[in-house]
Amino acid sequence: MTRRTDFDRHGLSDEQLRSILRNMLMQRGLENRGFQLNRQGKIPFASASEGHEAVQAGAAMAFERGKDILVPYYRDLGLALGIGLTPYEVLLSLFARAADHSGGRQFLHHYASRRLGVQTISSVIAAQLPHAVGAAYALKLRGESGRAVLTTFGDGATSEGEWHESINFAAVHQLPIVFLCENNEWAISTPQRMQMAIKDIYRKAEGYGIPGAGVDGFDPIACYAAARDALNRARDGGGPTLLEAKCYRFLAHSTDDDDSAYRSREEVAERRKDDPVPKFERVLVGAGVMTPSAVEEMRTSILAEINDATDRAETMPYPRSDDLYAQVYGASYNPWQ
């Protein structure tokens, strides 16, 4: 196989590079499946992170399974897949089955698994950030060096008070945490310029006395390198970092949103030209890491895996109506004793 040299792989092996592409293709495939199931009337709701594949697959490669803690937001399928979530678990969540992490209570993409090290989140913007800081505080208090917290959010989250409070708290205590902003330029219908008067979110880091860095969110290797450096600094006691991966949201906010109401088709089409998924395919093929036919085989195997996961998850039972009453408290409980 011929190998080109004009390709900075930041130490990633061929296997890791292929795994990143597989993650990106899997994200797209699973999200496409969500939309199909929604159109078929089988699930009430779907959403996607199309445009976020590179940052999520790249950053996930820097996450150390079994050690690090992930506190994501609700548009982080690729991060979850990258740290070990299976397509079957995703489908259980889409179908709201009893075996889902939340027992079928939560929307899709609200994971909670100690096995994976991913904390439970709500859909309230930036509400998970103080939790990530608390987790990082626990790691530091217990002297568990070599472990770090990775937490993520969108550009709109930076408007929330808890965003500021969390970064400030983490900076004061020099906690082992990386704040990764997936800036897709849109908070549902509100563009970045209506959320803030600056262009580069990572520059806010200076106001907190921590390092900040911007990275091309369409380049998974650059995102991996930025996340790896920041996570290593956190693990080594170097404190928090604010990263901003500039990406784009290609689709509407969710199946309940029509983005043509607030942004032109031309804008979206223009940004599609930089779609990170075909772009990374070309990078790997161009570098000789994969052949075009190997990419096709990967696609085929992903689709087979998604089909299998869909079939298995769909046959699983819903939670029982009695489950509504479970897990309110640690012991059986009635407000009137």
Partner 1 sequence: MAIAAPSKVMTNVEAVRATLYDALKRDDRVLILGEDVGNRGNVFLITKGFIEEFGAERVIDTPIAEASIVGVAVGMAMEGLRPIAEIQFADFIYPAFNQIVGEAAKIRYRSNGEYTCPMVIRTPYGGGVRGALSHSISVEALFYHVPGLKIVAPSTPRDIKGLLNTAIEDPDPVMFLEHKRTYRLIKDEVPDEYFTIPLGKANVLKEGSALTVVSYGLNAHQALEAAQRLEGEGLSVEVIDLRSIRPMDRKAILDSLRKTHKLLVIHEDNKFGGIGAEISAMVAEEALFELDAPIRRLCGPDVPAMGYALPLEEEFMISTDRMAEVMREMVKY
What Rg, from alpha-carbon coordinates, does the chain have?
A: 20
- Nearer CB in complex with partner 1: 98/213: 98
Catalytic residue among 262, 272, 282, 318: 262
Over the range 173-189, which residues count as b (16 or more CB within 10 Å of their CB) and which as e?
bbbbbbbbbbbbbbbee
Written as six digits, the tokens of 337 are 């004793």
Q: Which of 63, 153, 169, 179 binds partner 1 (CB under 8 A)?
A: 169
Interacting span for partner 1 (CB under 8 A) from 17-25, 159-167, 203-211, 236-244: 159-167
Q: What distance in Å separates the CA atoms of residue 157 and residue 187, rounded to the nearest whole number?
A: 8
Distance in Å, CB of 105 to partner 1, minimum: 6
Using CB under 8 A as the binding rule, the residues of this chain from 86 to 105 that contact partner 1 are 100-103, 105
Binding mask 42-71 for partner 1 (x = CB under 8 A): ---------------------------x-x
Q: Report the DSSP beta bridge partners of residue 214.
A: 244
Is 73 marked active-site? no
| Residue 329 touches partner 1, criterion: CB under 8 A | yes
> Which range touches partner 1 (CB under 8 A), out of 2-10, 32-40, 110-118, 258-266?
110-118
**Residue 177's beta-bridge partner residues?**
149
Interaction of residue 138 with partner 1, rule CB under 8 A: yes
334 is a contact residue toward partner 1 (CB under 8 A): yes
State the greatest distance between any 2 C-alpha atoms of the chain, in Å, as a whole number: 74
Note if 249 is an active site residue.
yes
The rounded Cα 242 to chain-centroid distance in angstroms is 16
Which residue type sits at 138? A
Q: Which is nearer to partner 1, 80 or 225 (CB)?
A: 80
Can residue 335 be called a binding residue for partner 1 (CB under 8 A)? yes
- Helix 53-62 vs helix 276-286: crossing angle, to nearest 10: 60
Helical H segments across 236-314, by residue range: 265-272, 276-286, 292-314
Among 2, 3, 322, 336, binds partner 1 (CB under 8 A): 336
Cβ neighbour number for residue 235 with a 10 Å cutoff: 19
- Nearest-5° angle of CA 117, CA 147, CA 72? 40
State the Cα–Cα distance between residues 292 and 312, nearest whole angstrom: 30
Q: What DSSP state is assigned to residue 324?
A: G
| 28, 97, 109, 110: which one binds partner 1 (CB under 8 A) | 110
Active site residue 318: no
Q: Does 139 bind partner 1 (CB under 8 A)?
A: yes
Q: What is the dihedral of CA 149, 150, 152, 157, to 10 degrees?
A: 40
| Options 253, 263, 299, 312, the catalytic residue | 253
Contact between 158 and partner 1 per CB under 8 A: no
72 and 290 in contact (C-beta within 8 Å)?
no
Residue 40 interacts with partner 1 (CB under 8 A): yes or no: no
To the nearest whole angstrom, how small is the minimum distance from the Cβ of residue 109 to partner 1? Answer: 13
Question: Given 22, 101, 235, 249, which residue is catalytic?
Answer: 249
Regarding 113 and contact with partner 1 (CB under 8 A), the answer is: yes
Residues in contact with partner 1 by the rule CB under 8 A: 69, 71, 100-103, 105-106, 110, 112-114, 119-120, 122, 124, 127, 129-139, 141, 161-162, 165-166, 168-169, 172, 326-331, 333-337
Task: Please identify every residue annotated as catalytic.
Answer: 249, 253, 262
